[in-house]
Amino acid sequence: MSAQTEPRYTLEEYFELERKSEERFEFWNGEVFCMSGVSPEHAQLEVNFISQLNSRLTGKGCRIFPANIRIKVPSAPPYRYADVSALCGEAKFEEIGGIRAVTNPTLIVEILSGSTEAYDRGEKFTHYQSITSFREYLLIAQHRPHITHLIKQEDGSWIYKEYNDLADIVKLTSMNCELAMSEVYENVSFSSDKAE
């Protein structure tokens, strides 16, 4: 008996899938991963974060992109999806396989789940660093109030901060604004298990 292998996709087949589907998929070395479907807590955190960031950036010439916007990641072609990305100034796009991807985000946000946390903290962050404009990374937990904040320094190193209290204020240097943890976690209920 032979072991079944997962189907392999060419880049052309992947682009065709992306163009025809309502769902989001990421491509990696011939494999395709569905990025659609989140928990209610994940969805609430995403809405809260975008809403709070938007209220602080109104009139400042900044752009905020939700989870369905593709980000060109040079070291992990063709592109990745983040839960939120943002930049101040002109947004630049590149057409890749007939699909537009933003090339210059400065802030990238991932809302963690049990199935993606290790990847978001490790390999995905490593690949995001190949984006020359990338300056700030937030990892938002679903199962408790906790935000990991990484800020790129002039020498290329990253400073690591953690926020664990709903009274904490997160200072986004790349966006020149502050967000209250209590507002990011508004209407989010916590369970003892990690949400998906």
pTM surpassing 0.75? yes
Band the pLDDT of 2: cuts 50, 70, 90.
very low
Domains of the chain and any CATH numbers: 1-36 (no CATH), 39-184 (3.90.1570.10)
Write out pLDDT tens, residues 39-96: 899 999 999 999 999 999 999 999 999 998 999 999 999 999 999 999 999 999 999 9
DSSP string, the chain: -PPP-PPP--HHHHHHHHHH-SS-EEEETTEEEE-----HHHHHHHHHHHHHHHHHHTTTTEEEE-TTSEE--TTSSS-EE-SEEEEES---EEEETTEEEE---SEEEEE--TTTHHHHHTHHHHHHTTSTT--EEEEE-SSSS-EEEEEE-TTS-EEEEEE-STT-EEEETTTTEEEEHHHHTTT----SSPP-
Write out pLDDT tens, residues 122-172: 999 999 999 999 999 999 999 999 999 999 999 999 999 999 999 999 999
Phi/psi-derived region of residue 41, left when phi > 0, alpha when psi is between -120 and 50, beta in every other case: alpha
Alpha carbon distance 170, 172 (integer Å):
6
